[in-house]
Structure 1
């Protein structure tokens, strides 16, 4: 069997259909698909206001600025899966400060946040791998809370978040692929108006002291995203089946367990946490030799050390295995047989 990639980007005929229609109408940058995409997001996440942008990073940066945060300390986890979060904080004129992670989820730890009280002005909490953060607890600290839902599209669907802003990414490796793009979902009209003011300047009539950007989402991206949305039911069904099969395999495993609650069948990544760094490295090496794509997901935003003991442990003991729509039943059979053998060899 050929190598099994950890991530793939599925292509659907509906994506091409929506894009072709937009091209035929000459709606490449501005067009009706933008309104359609916003309406779908508004209905899905029960938010009154949706501001689209050209990337998840832009959505985060614009949200921080629109909420009036400038020169403030923004708390986030000590580990991340990319540098977009810290770059967005810095480009918005703010400063990142770090908290430890929950061992069971990999998300920002509420207990660690409580210990840092008065050392931060806002909280930016990512839902890593589709695992929901404890937003309700973060709201109790009486500071603005931004929920980074870039990896939790499926988990967040149909649920009303108490966060002041929800931010999404539509990069091709995300569940909702729109070529690229981002969205800021808010409840307050004043924040929404400021988001529009920051994202583009088509309403500007004269030179003023405002700082604005050209970070709007092109209509073609929205059209592509609508094509992906048409296939979400199929993606959900397939991913849920794969997750259930993996959960059965690792249910009684002595060396590794799945990150996140077992009740969650809407993951965007299937991440394992091993009981030691040695077992993690052996597992990854054996998988790669067997043609199974695996990877370390986390990177350190600050030196973990003794200040972030859970972050250090998670950084050293986690990796992800393939989870995507294009894992066929034949490939899954091979994965189960091979992974089962590898696990037995590690005990």
Structure 2
């Protein structure tokens, strides 16, 4: 055994190095520059949208999107309870209230039936719902075939949290292209990385112009520094955009590598009743992270025991996201629940899925997993 195996380490190499060196030698070291412009154009093309704004994190992108659609104190934003905390935090940044919705068991994505009922109840109570903010969990798109017309009929903007889903599709349409605006993340563990970074993508030019303005300290277009409202320093560095451009060139290969790992996990666990892959069977997933769901009544062992076994071999795993309605920071928040997210948190386990995993590392992971399940 040599070294810890992580869930999704950055997958970078000589191409990324060459792009970074070129950008550094160009003299464009400060934020903005030609690499940022090109990265925005390339990401818009990849997601099938017409406009993009690069920012320094996916969280910043969510914050800007919510501000641009007018979220503020007294408003409600509907958020899946099964997500990373950034989705809910961005709502709080605006002063609006996140109201959480449970998920469907097959994918962990937002339960559309619950959402429909919640929209009716909030509307009947006279509350102003300014956005629905679905999340494409672990790289599998939410059910936009049902979500988009539901939000449109209710007159509520849809903001797609596609932070985990670059390269994924739903019914052949790219993640990030659904709703009024989509938000991507390029954090160090994402399917492509700019070290830290994010992107807003949309066909709404005015909305993204507003996001760009707010991301650059809301500076007025005059020769001196003039500010008529509060803005934010959310720009992406030109150097990091260069890294992102190199990563984007390799995206399809990295997805293919992750899909091979996911397929191998699927074949392994198919022989053991009581274990399934979360989101299994969706051909549009980017396979960012592979998560299994364990029914201990069938397997005779809980997911936590497999995690402990792998930890002894210095192999990283983690439970699926702890639901937002269980987070101390959101204690007392309103939520429409069925118990599904709680069950997935108790029974789900995310396994090493990164495209940078070497063949010896892959064999080490699968050897450890196979050893555990066969012993059990």
Structure-2-length-normalised TM-score:
0.85
Larger mean Cα displacement after TM superposition, 47-56 or 62-71: 62-71
Output one character per residue of 1:215-253: Cα deviation in whole Å (capped at 9) or x when no partner: 111111101111212222331221121111111111232
Q: Offset at 1:127?
A: 0.6
- Alignment correspondent of 2:313: 290
**1:78-97 alignment to 2 at 5 Å?**
78-81=81-84, 83-97=85-99
Output one character per residue of 1:150-193: Cα deviation in whole Å (capped at 9) or x when no partner: 10112149725331111001111111101211111111122122
The secondary structure found in structure 2 opposite 1:20 is helix
Output one character per residue of 1:192-228: Cα deviation in whole Å (capped at 9) or x when no partner: 2211221114544374542221211111110111121
- Alignment correspondent of 1:162: 178
Superposed structure 1 runs of 4+ greater than 6 Å apart: none
The secondary structure found in structure 2 opposite 1:284 is helix
- Alignment correspondent of 1:43: 45
- The size of the alignment, in residue pairs, is 345
The secondary structure found in structure 2 opposite 1:52 is strand
User: Matched residues in 2 for 1:317 and 1:59: separation?
Assistant: 31
Gaps of 5+ in 1: none
- Alignment correspondent of 1:122: 131
Q: 1:167 to 1:156 in 2, by over 3 A?
A: farther
- Alignment correspondent of 2:144: 135
- Alignment correspondent of 1:173: 189
**1:49-60 alignment to 2 at 5 Å?**
49-60=51-62
Q: 1:296 to 1:144 in 2, by over 3 A?
A: same
Output one character per residue of 1:8-67: Cα deviation in whole Å (capped at 9) or x when no partner: 122211211111111111101232101110111111011111111111111000011112
User: Matched residues in 2 for 1:336 and 1:213: separation?
Assistant: 45
Contact preservation (8 Å) 1:80, 1:300 = yes
Gaps of 5+ in 2: 123-128, 328-334
C-alpha RMSD of the superposition: 2.2
Contact preservation (8 Å) 1:274, 1:280 = yes
Contact preservation (8 Å) 1:123, 1:138 = no
Q: 1:274 to 1:306 in 2, by over 3 A?
A: farther
Q: Offset at 1:276?
A: 3.5
**1:304-323 alignment to 2 at 5 Å?**
307-323=337-353
Query: Is residue 255 from structure 1 mapped to residue 274 from structure 2 by the alignment?
Result: yes
- Alignment correspondent of 2:361: 331
Q: Offset at 1:306?
A: 9.4
User: Matched residues in 2 for 1:212 and 1:195: separation?
Assistant: 10
